Amino acid sequence: MPGTEETESDVLVPARLLPVAELHLHIEGTLQPELIFALAERNGLELPYSGLDELRERYEFTDLQSFLDLYYANMAVLRTEQDFADMTRAYLERAAAAGVRHAEIMMDPQAHLSRGVALETCVNGVASVLATSEQDFGVSTLLIAAFLRDLSEESALEVLDNLLAMGAPIAAIGLDSAEVGNPPAKFERLYAKAREAGLRLTAHAGEEGPASYIIEALDVLGVERIDHGIRCMDDPDLVERLVDGRIPLTVCPLSNVRLRAVDTLADHPLPAMLAAGLNVSVNSDDPAYFGGYVDDNFAQLEAVFALSEFDKARLAANSIHSSFASEERKAELLEELNGGEVPHP
């Protein structure tokens, strides 16, 4: 720059973005306020907010339910396949910039069916973009059908039947929505059916609910992965079991702060979980609602905790090892991470 004596060492070099797999992401939770307004306008819908500022004022949560109320309300703008496709494309573009190289994307079909949106509309809208995500964004993807645990198991079974009957390209099922009072055991038959159909199994447990829900998800549902799982830290025997079994926990630090599962990021158990040898990864959950994508989660963790390069590489390696991607794809990503020489607890 003329008139300055800037040297090369003054130039800020952005920290290397580690290639990661995002394993805990609700596609409906990527709906940004701007897109909510754009889709409302395209679909001729009146929003109950005067503008972006008034909508943004609602992003102040006291617990999981207070978030879910807004999350479900904002989905009203998703009407057509194009809406679901546009939302998915926006996420993949941003995730790629965050270093995400593989994403396992949950969607909530029941939240759309209850609004009169057909299963084909939501599934095909998202799936049409996922089909070419690797070529278009450099992000391999797979789709997880998540079931709302505050609805009945009969409803979940019917939707799973319909997904299987239409040949929906789903790789796994998950369990989300209001946790406390809706224990995993309520969905024993759903998980048995999904397992029989050859699907992979994950479930939210131990976000607001107790450590015993994590045990139930493992023992009754037979899940391979636990979404959140932070409450395991209340039960040392469970921690030992999770460490021994290398069971993945898809942790979402900024989500936990915004939903008041922890008071502040400095109180988050992630460093203790790493120190205990748990197989944890860092994920964004609902990035449009919780203040950031995977890179933002890493940046804020780094600002609060002295995460070593080794810890960061371990978190990235855990995410890849814990994914439902093919062994070939995992090997490719591990090679990209560290020439294949990656730590794993």
Cα(239)–Cα(216) distance, integer angstroms: 14
Cα(240)–Cα(18) distance, integer angstroms: 28
Residue selected from 285, 295, 311, 332 as contacting ligand HPA according to rule CB under 6 A: 285
Is there binding between residue 176 and ligand HPA (CB under 6 A)? yes
Cα(221)–Cα(201) distance, integer angstroms: 8
Is there binding between residue 255 and ligand HPA (CB under 6 A)? yes
Is there binding between residue 286 and ligand HPA (CB under 6 A)? yes
Q: Is 207 a catalytic residue?
A: yes
Is there binding between residue 177 and ligand HPA (CB under 6 A)? yes
Is there binding between residue 295 and ligand HPA (CB under 6 A)? no
> Between 251 and 337, whose beta carbon lies closer to Zn ion?
251
Which residues have CB under 8 Å from 95's CB, separation 6+? 22, 25, 103, 137, 139, 293, 294
CB of 228 to Zn ion, least distance (A): 7
Instruction: At 144, list the tokens.
Output: 């997880």
CB of 68 to Zn ion, least distance (A): 10
Give the residue at shortest CB distance from ligand HPA: 176
CB 78 within 8 A of CB 112: yes
Half-sphere exposure of 340 (CA within 13 A, CB side): 5
Query: Using CB under 5 A as the criterion, which residues of the chain lie in contact with Zn ion when the complex forms?
Result: 285
Cα(275)–Cα(169) distance, integer angstroms: 37
**Which of ligand HPA, Zn ion, none does 207 bind, CB closer than 5 to 8 A by kind?**
ligand HPA
Q: Which of 179, 207, 208, 216 is catalytic?
A: 207
> Between 78 and 203, whose beta carbon lies closer to Zn ion?
203
Q: Is 224 exposed, middle or buried (0-12, 13-18, 19+ CB in 10 A)?
A: middle
In the complex, which residues of this chain contact ligand HPA (CB under 6 A)?
Answer: 26, 29, 64, 71, 176-177, 204, 207, 255, 285-286
- Among all residues, which ones are annotated catalytic? 207
